[in-house]
Structure 1
Amino acid sequence: MSVKEQKKAQRKWVKEKQKMMALRSWEAEDRKICEGLLSLAAYRRAKTIFCFVSMPEEIDTDFFLQQAWKDGKRVVVPRCGQKGVMAAYEVSSLRDLEAGQYGIREPKAYCALVAPEEIDFGVIPCLSCDRKGFRLGHGGGYYDRYLEGTNFPTAVICREELLLEETAIEPFDTQMDWVITEKEIMSVKKGHFEK
């Protein structure tokens, strides 16, 4: 089986599992995951934070974003463009967001573009990931393209039940520095071992 076929099978497994999990309330777990992010020294040191804005089926990042503003952080979020291209824009509150491509909340047109070099820490989404920090996305390649050539530390957040034994990876797949679930904080990439 090719890597692409493996990824397709893994996405199918995750989506089936998500359907079975859909009726549960995830508020307490999501809060615990966000608290895990907030506990990282990399977050505390960072002046500018990159974070995805969650969809209903994803881990709710609104609490994390609001806490980052309270902590005086500069917050940037992604906006997707054509052909897998993504850019980051500064937002000052949830009111700076509107439904964009794919129904994802994105920064409004007046939000300022922020260069990747200005970002100190990133929170990256996944459908699933493994304990080594390799993520399984939706397959659009937006995050892998965006992260290519950046050097800010990254944390991927995932529900414990959706973790994979091993993610099928391709040469362009980017390894994250931390994997955070509601049960643990895993420091996985060499060079970022402090919590």
Structure 2
Amino acid sequence: MDKVDHQKSKVRLRRTLIKTRQSMSVGEWREKSDRICTVLQSSTLFLQARTILAYFSFRQEPDLSPLFANTHHRWGFPRCIGQSLHWHGWTHEESLNINTYGIKEPLPQAPTIDPEEVDLILVPSVACDYRGYRLGYGGGYYDRLLSSPEWLTKPTIGIVFDFAYLPQLPVENWDQPLQAVLTETTNVIYPETG
């Protein structure tokens, strides 16, 4: 498969999976999201983490917000600035902005979180495969983040629904495998990346 076909394949797969995700009823989405939160709370990587980078659900991504009131963890969320993600602390009492993509993010004056403070990154994904690779939204924000030296060794968990946990995804040479993938029924840690 040449590079153009490879990209078209990723675009088609991304479109199909997002459509499937958005076709879930609100009740099914809430139930599966709650199950993901339950599985995550029993994950060793989660239990050992103090500072966790997460995301606000967008386009019916798995919703982790019930966990954000847990004050045992310090929570960080991304702000898109240029081509990069910048991480800011946030507590559930604080206000949020809506960025140009329509995604919630902390206010600009929220305290920043430096890489050395981070114990775990919960990575939003369109899909993940059995090897730990993820399919994102095509903007490359997480690819750039996870391949930079200061973030390369941070534990990562891709969060997807079962239907988006696939045997194999198209992979580019810059793609970084995640350390683990978690769905509403599965928590898989990949020893070769851990």
What TM-score, normalized by structure 2, do the two folds share?
A: 0.88
Pick closer, same or farther for the CA change 1:108–1:23 going to 2, 3 Å.
closer
Contiguous gaps of at least 5 residues in structure 2: none
Corresponding pairs, count: 188
Contiguous gaps of at least 5 residues in structure 1: none
1:105 and 1:55 map into 2 onto residues whose CA distance is 8
SS in structure 2 opposite 1:113?
coil
Q: Which residue in 1 is equivalent to 2:79?
A: 79
Structure 1's consecutive aligned runs of 4 or more residues displaced over 4 angstroms after TM superposition are: none
CA contact (8 A) 1:87 1:146 kept: no
| 1:6-155 alignment, distance < 5 Å | 6-22=9-25, 25-67=28-70, 69=71, 72-82=72-82, 84-93=83-92, 95-148=94-147, 149=149, 150=151, 151-155=153-157
1:13 and 1:94 map into 2 onto residues whose CA distance is 36
- What displacement does 1:56 show? 4.3
Q: 1:181 aligns with which of 180, 183, 190?
A: 183
Partner deviation per Cα, 1:91-141 (whole Å, 9 max, x = no partner): 122524221231100011220111112101110000111122111011000
1:56 and 1:66 map into 2 onto residues whose CA distance is 22
SS in structure 1 opposite 2:166?
coil
What TM-score, normalized by structure 1, do the two folds share?
A: 0.88
* Alignment root-mean-square deviation, CA: 1.8
1:21 and 1:7 map into 2 onto residues whose CA distance is 22
- What displacement does 1:6 show? 2.2
SS in structure 2 opposite 1:103?
coil
1:18 and 1:73 map into 2 onto residues whose CA distance is 28
- Percent of residue pairs bearing the same amino acid type: 28
Equivalent position amino acid for 2:102 in 1: G
Partner deviation per Cα, 1:52-107 (whole Å, 9 max, x = no partner): 1111411111012223x2xx21111111111x211111112252422123110001
CA contact (8 A) 2:178 2:193 kept: no
- What displacement does 1:25 show? 2.4
2:110 and 2:87 map into 1 onto residues whose CA distance is 9
Q: 1:172 aligns with which of 171, 174, 177?
A: 174
